[in-house]
Amino acid sequence: MIKLRKDSKDKEKTGEKKEAVVKEQQEEAEEELSLLSQKGKGSVKKVITDIDATVKEAAKESLKQLKLLEEGRCPECGRKTKQFLFTSICPHCGWSSFISPQQKGRMIVHLRDGTTLECDNTFDTQEGNILCISDDVVRMKVSSANVSYIEFAWAEEEIAERRKQKEREEAAVCDWCGRTAQRAEMLETFAAFGTYQERFLFCSPKCELAFQNHYPMRIHRDCYQRPCEDCNECIKKYYDTSSKKILSTEEIAKET
């Protein structure tokens, strides 16, 4: 379970940001609510219910995408992605995600007429424009048709820092002996100690076997040998140990 904790100062800042965003639209919102109120309270309640449902659905989708990304999988097709220092790319469907320079580097927008624009970050809009942002302020809006390419001007120290961070992220700890090893070298065992299935990592077959011999019984028999898709005796987080696909909330509900 992912836990988020915010202190009172964070809540105050969030409230201030939300207030700034909706302030310009407050009059319009009040006018729309007034029109709905004339049709009856039922209309207002229905709109609020629809909004709540949309927010919940969006939250579920965001959680699903986050869990897939944590597993190094594409949030669009669920296949394995290729991980680079600042970029994740799915070679199967073309999905990609990247981190732009934020601390020491910068973005350089090269226009077709040969001129350049520098900023901290850029965003593509649905209208076919590119927003150039510096110090959290949109400084320029450029038509994508006028852009030749966008350069990521990384600082060398920022690249070195990211390399060290990636090495730490790829390291994993053996659940039996406690030795640290590369995540790709680890062996995996899926077993249910309680209601939910859990994943355990081991640095060698010896550690994996020692773990299984030490904990021979689970909430049901043959937990190590029985294929997960043929078993419904626990609430599974993973249904296929070969692909390690994570189940959605709806899929988990169907299995219980």
166 and 249 share a domain?
yes
Q: Which amino acid is at 101?
A: P
Q: How confident is the model at residue 144 (pLDDT cuts 50, 70, 90)?
A: very high
User: What is residue 98's predicted lDDT score, i.e. its pLDDT?
Assistant: 81
Instruction: Quickly count helices (H) and strands (E) in the chain.
Output: 6, 13
| pLDDT 10s digits, 59-86 | 888 888 888 887 788 988 988 888 888 8
| CA-based end-to-end distance of the chain | 18
Q: Is residue 9 part of a domain?
A: no
CA 233 – CA 231 distance, rounded (Å): 6
% of the chain residues with pLDDT over 90: 19
Q: Is residue 44 part of a domain?
A: no
User: What is residue 132's predicted lDDT score, i.e. its pLDDT?
Assistant: 94
Average pLDDT in the chain = 78
Rounded average pLDDT over 97-116: 86
User: What is residue 150's predicted lDDT score, i.e. its pLDDT?
Assistant: 94
Q: Mention every residue, 6+ apart, whose C-beta is less than 8 A from residue 126.
A: none
170 and 234 share a domain?
yes
110 and 186 share a domain?
no
Q: Is residue 94 part of a domain?
A: yes
Range of the domain at 80: 71-98
Q: Which stretches does DSSP call E strand in the chain?
A: 82-83, 87-89, 96-98, 106-111, 116-119, 121-124, 129-134, 137-143, 147-153, 171-173, 180-182, 187-192, 197-202
146 and 198 share a domain?
no
| pLDDT 10s digits, 214-224 | 887 555 667 77
User: What is residue 256's predicted lDDT score, i.e. its pLDDT?
Assistant: 46
141 and 203 share a domain?
no
User: What is residue 162's predicted lDDT score, i.e. its pLDDT?
Assistant: 82
User: What is residue 254's predicted lDDT score, i.e. its pLDDT?
Assistant: 56
Q: How confident is the model at residue 249 (pLDDT cuts 50, 70, 90)?
A: very low
Q: How confident is the model at residue 39 (pLDDT cuts 50, 70, 90)?
A: low
Q: What is the DSSP letter of 80?
A: B
Rounded average pLDDT over 193-215: 84
CA 88 – CA 73 distance, rounded (Å): 9
139 and 170 share a domain?
no
> Is the confidence at residue 194, as pLDDT, over 80?
no
Q: Which amino acid is at 216?
A: P
The residue among 20 and 91 whose pLDDT is bigger is 91
CA 43, 44, 49, 51 torsion-angle sign: positive
Taking each helix axis as running N to C, give the angle between helix 8-23 and helix 26-39, from 0 to 180 degrees, rounded to the nearest 10. Answer: 80
Q: Is residue 28 part of a domain?
A: no
193 and 139 share a domain?
no
3-state secondary structure of 206: helix
Q: How many domains does the chain have?
A: 3
173 and 251 share a domain?
yes
DSSP per-residue string spanning 22-52:
HHTTHHHHHHHHHHHHHH-HHHHHHHHHHHH
Are 80 and 72 spatial neighbours (Cβ–Cβ below 8 Å)? yes
User: What is residue 3's predicted lDDT score, i.e. its pLDDT?
Assistant: 34
CATH number at residue 137: 2.30.30.100
Q: How confident is the model at residue 248 (pLDDT cuts 50, 70, 90)?
A: very low
192 and 246 share a domain?
yes
β-sheet bridge partners, residue 110? 116, 149
